[in-house]
Structure 1
């Protein structure tokens, strides 16, 4: 089995997941969330910034084009645009 880590995955390693989840718990950002974690939202938004995406469909399409290769990023799969939209609207920044 080949083990790899994309450049995007290496950028994500800069951010400590334990400190990230500590901040999430302090702010209560995941309260009532079902299935779409704050980490997945963070990965999508970071991808948006780095890819200079202008719409939610571009973000979701870009992540979906890496199908099968996003597990190393800590996400289950590419989010749907409606899920990402709802999370961006209802979670504290």
Structure 2
């Protein structure tokens, strides 16, 4: 049987780097069949094919079980296995591996566009988006009276549009708080909207040798000290 499109895509994933993270966090401890790699392949397939639930993933993948081995999936694909793995496996395995993939992607796409080609330093855009959740299923994520939500904060490298940093918080967390966990890159530029306007935090950004471009609020009081 020829390789599936999915397996051809997964060939570009550095499994050695993934296995290093699994070993670091002991991810396959007491796991008999459905390994972390099986979980990663199943969830990657779900993302690429727009599956909507664990039941949907199971139904789709088990429709042609003879192809699973050729996709690299050796464990039993069952809703219970997926649910248990997603609940129990250490999330840091996938968070660390995501950073590894981001680092590789940044190198690949750094010179992909003429955008900002005259600037040697990195240029980032910082923003957030609110993701709605069903309050009855996620009561801990209460955002409004009848609404649940989490917020995804993303730092986007404008060369190649590759995310450099992603943090998911409760929907009620104000955008400006993400500056407290952001590790500034000296010499780089951070573009933000007025939601991040906090002078103490921006001063710290300046102290860390980073530059920022931010929209001012209408009531901003300022005095020009000097001009270049």
Change in Cα spacing, 1:45 to 1:58, as seen in structure 2 (3 Å) is same
Change in Cα spacing, 1:30 to 1:48, as seen in structure 2 (3 Å) is same
* Residue matched to 1:39: 37
Q: TM-score, normalised by structure 2?
A: 0.38
57, 60, 63: which one aligns with 1:59: 57
Identify, as 1 or 2, the structure richer in helix: 1
**How many angstroms does 1:64 deviate by?**
0.7
CA deviations on 1:55-77 (whole Å, 9 max, x unpaired) are 10111111112220111222225
Could you tell me how far apart the structure 1 residues matched to 2:69 and 2:51 are? 21
Which portions of structure 1, spanning 4 or more consecutive aligned residues, are displaced by more than 2 angstroms? none
Counterpart secondary structure, 2:65? coil
Q: Looking at CA atoms only, which structure, 1 or 2, has the larger radius of gyration?
A: 2
Could you tell me how far apart the structure 1 residues matched to 2:30 and 2:65 are? 28
Counterpart secondary structure, 1:44? helix
13, 16, 25: which one aligns with 1:15: 13
* Residue matched to 1:29: 27
Deviates more, 1:27-36 or 1:39-48: 27-36
* Residue matched to 1:90: 88
* Residue matched to 1:81: 79
- 2:34–2:75 Cα contact (<8 Å) kept: no
Task: Provide the aligned C-alpha RMSD in A.
Answer: 1.4
Identify, as 1 or 2, the structure richer in strand: 2
* Residue matched to 1:5: 3
Unaligned runs of 5+ in 2: 92-228
Could you tell me how far apart the structure 2 residues matched to 1:65 and 1:31 are? 29
